[in-house]
């Protein structure tokens, strides 16, 4: 991203502003060195119930951050608001990831390992994730899909998203992988015209339930609709250790 960040050689007071990267810090064994997380950092549960929370990914509580006196803040270009990051960067070292696909996720894991002095642990996680995806068996022939992340208005994963890359690795062709919109709003007519073979409803950020199947079946009669684990499609940290096995079960 072209930013230069001066970081202590061994940061002792780390704040994570991204749920998937918080879980990675836990799996890197950073323990007490992580002093703050967001209210959406639900994994691991032990940290969620015990660590200081500094607001959300989109609305950081600056006073709570200052009170924790961090020597490193870890965020993400897409998940965090630019104004929050710019304000934080005036006072603290702020390192941002920019993850769009599996290679950039693995690069992020390795870089966080370098930042925190846990290179060996990070390299082990990267190797295990690579092996898992090497064993992934994509659908053949591929099947078209629409991946919903929101309702009222309908929003789907689009071009250039991490979800889009995960779908492709499953042998699923995203019918909304076009244009520049990463998470486009779509209408019922858009969905009907795209006519995907399958409709996937993410378990997050919108809490889709089975009751929403009927309204989509009214738009695309006969098209299978299913809820999928959004964390395994969109969390780009160490949760990727579990994604390939889930994907194999999904498309098998």
Hey, is 143 helix, strand or coil?
Answer: strand
Is residue 1 assigned to a domain? no
Q: From residue 215, give the alpha-carbon distance in Å to each of 71, 154, 218, 232, 235.
A: 49, 12, 5, 25, 28
Residue 51 lies in a domain: yes
Q: If we measure between CA atoms, which residue out of 111, 105, 112 comes closest to residue 130? A: 105
Indicate whether 184 and 106 sit together in one domain.
no
Q: Are residues 201 and 113 part of one domain? A: no
Is residue 156 over pLDDT 90? yes
Per-residue pLDDT, averaged over 153-161, amounts to 97
- CA–CA gap between residue 251 and residue 30 (Å, rounded): 35
Among 85, 112, 133, give the residue marking a domain's end. Answer: 133
Look up the domain containing 226 and give its range.
143-251
What is the distance between the alpha carbons of residues 12 and 20, in angstroms, rounded to a whole number?
20
Longest dimension (CA), the chain: 58
Residue 10 has pLDDT above 90, yes or no: no
pLDDT tens per residue across span 109-127: 999 999 999 999 999 999 9
In 202-212, which positions are buried (b, 16+ CB within 10 angstroms) versus exposed (e)?
A: bbbebebeeeb
Structure tokens given for 149:
């992340």
Q: Which of 79, 109, 133 is the last residue of a domain?
A: 133
What is the CA 74 to chain-centroid distance, rounded? 14
Q: Are residues 148 and 105 in the same domain?
A: no
Look at residue 180 in the predicted model and tell me its pLDDT.
87
Give 230's pLDDT tier (boundaries 50, 70, 90): very high
pLDDT above 90 as % of the chain: 92
Q: Looking at the domain assignment, is residue 148 inside a domain? A: yes
9 assigned to some structural domain: no
The pLDDT tens digits for 166-180 are 999 999 999 999 888
pTM of the full structure: 0.95
The pLDDT, as a whole number, for residue 1 is 61
CA gap 140, 150 in Å, rounded: 29
Please report whether residue 7 resides in a domain: no
Q: How many domains does the chain divide into?
A: 2
Instruction: Give the Cβ contact number of residue 32 at 10 Å.
Output: 9
pLDDT tens-digit series, residues 16-46: 999 999 999 999 999 999 999 999 999 999 9
Name the domain boundary from 133, 153, 177. Answer: 133
Query: What one-character DSSP code corresponds to residue 220?
Result: S
């Amino acid at each position: 991203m072209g930013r230069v960040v001066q970081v202590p050689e061994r940061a002792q007071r780390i704040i994570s502003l991204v749920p998937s990267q918080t879980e990675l810090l836990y799996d890197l064994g950073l323990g007490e060195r992580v002093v703050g997380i967001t209210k959406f950092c639900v994994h691991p549960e032990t940290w969620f119930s015990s660590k200081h929370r500094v607001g959300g990914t989109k609305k950081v509580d600056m006073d709570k951050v200052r009170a924790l006196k961090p020597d490193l803040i870890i965020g993400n270009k897409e998940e965090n608001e630019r104004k929050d990051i710019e304000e934080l960067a005036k006072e603290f070292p702020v390192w941002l990831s920019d993850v769009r696909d599996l290679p950039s996720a693995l690069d992020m894991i390795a870089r966080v390992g370098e930042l925190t002095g846990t290179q060996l642990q990070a390299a082990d996680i990267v190797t295990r994730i690579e092996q898992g995806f090497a064993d992934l068996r994509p659908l053949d022939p591929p099947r078209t899909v629409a991946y919903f992340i929101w309702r009222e208005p309908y929003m789907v994963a689009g071009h250039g998203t991490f979800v889009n890359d995960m779908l492709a690795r499953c042998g699923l062709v995203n019918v909304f992988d076009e244009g520049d919109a990463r998470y486009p709003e779509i209408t019922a007519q858009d969905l009907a015209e795209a006519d995907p073979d399958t409709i996937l409803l993410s378990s997050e950020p919108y809490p889709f339930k089975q009751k929403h199947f009927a309204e989509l079946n009214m738009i695309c009669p006969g098209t299978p609709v299913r809820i999928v684990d959004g964390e395994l499609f969109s969390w780009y940290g160490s949760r990727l250790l579990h994604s390939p096995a889930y994907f194999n079960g999904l498309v098998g």
